[in-house]
Amino acid sequence: MELLGIDIGGSGIKGAPVDIEQGMLVKKRYRIPTPQPSTPEAVAEVVAQIATRFKWHGPIGCTFPAVIKRGVAYSAANVDDSWIGANGEQIIAQKTGCPVLLLNDADAAGVAEMKFGAGLGQNGVVIVLTFGTGIGSAIFADGHLVPNTEFGHLDMMGIDAEDRASDRIREAEDLSWKKWAGRVNDFLAEMERLFSPDLFILGGGVSKKHQKYLHRLKTSAKIVPAQMRNEAGIIGAALAALPLMAPPTE
């Protein structure tokens, strides 16, 4: 079974049809730069272009860098503030002519990791963290997602955790891997204090360099790199859209 997954980010919007039984892209992903300003209407138009590219007419799953409740955005990270309060699902559905499910981007990545990646078969409490421009998060209890956690905004020394320990900050401050890992350890210690997880899965762009820092991270819980890499958002979005599929007719 195939569903279209689309990953909406602050710099690019990318998508592809996904085989949701195998957890893999059916066709090469297609990427379009995020329009500026990235208003709901402008972003929805890009999503429609991607759907047209694949001649898609079925359900679409879309990630978005915000708190999402019932299709409505309640925040806006690296996108236009006009998203706040907008029903993204309705706007994208109107542009594409397709049923749409909108969800938080880190939640989508977590869904993919739990179904096909490093979280496959894991019970207990699993925390997925994506280190990139910010710190995205998803938490699962026995495989069930608790959405919109936004752990990257927890306070660390008076500032958001992502303004101290994201990969963006590592690059901007030219931190050594050892020093950056020390900051990540502080963040993980707070996660352990609050949630006592059984497993951490670390994703985002920095996950492909895990040999440089993973051995420096000290947690009680097991800690592993994400496996789905740059396809996680697309695959997770497609998986999340499965309830939009019409039941088969007899």
Band of residue 192 on the pLDDT scale cut at 50, 70, 90: very high
Task: Tell me if 199 is assigned to some domain.
Answer: yes
- Is pLDDT at 249 greater than 60 in this prediction? no
pLDDT confidence of residue 55: 97
127 shares a domain with 68: no
27 shares a domain with 97: yes
Band of residue 247 on the pLDDT scale cut at 50, 70, 90: low
Q: DSSP secondary structure string, 159-197?
A: EETHHHHSHHHHHHTT--HHHHHHHHHHHHHHHHHHH--
pLDDT confidence of residue 31: 97
Task: Tell me if 250 is assigned to some domain.
Answer: no
97 shares a domain with 22: yes
162 shares a domain with 143: yes
Q: For the whole model, what pTM was predicted? A: 0.93
Q: Give the domain range for residue 130.
A: 122-227
Band of residue 153 on the pLDDT scale cut at 50, 70, 90: very high
Task: Tell me if 36 is assigned to some domain.
Answer: yes
Band of residue 78 on the pLDDT scale cut at 50, 70, 90: confident
237 shares a domain with 223: no
Task: Tell me if 113 is assigned to some domain.
Answer: no
pLDDT digits (tens, 9 = 90+) for 6-50: 999 988 999 999 999 999 999 999 999 999 999 999 999 999 999
pLDDT digits (tens, 9 = 90+) for 82-114: 999 999 999 999 999 999 999 999 999 999 999
143 shares a domain with 129: yes
Domain count, the chain: 2
183 shares a domain with 88: no
Q: DSSP secondary structure string, 60-84?
A: EEEEESS-EETTEES--SSS-GGGT
134 shares a domain with 54: no
212 shares a domain with 240: no
Burial 153-178 (b: 16+ CB within 10 A, else e): bbebeeebbbbbbbbbbbeeeebebe
93 shares a domain with 67: yes
Query: Cα(14)–Cα(4) distance, rounded to whole angstroms?
Result: 11
Q: DSSP secondary structure string, 2-28?
A: EEEEEEE-SSEEEEEEEETTTTEESS-
pLDDT confidence of residue 248: 54
Q: What is the CATH number of the domain that holds 180?
A: 3.30.420.40
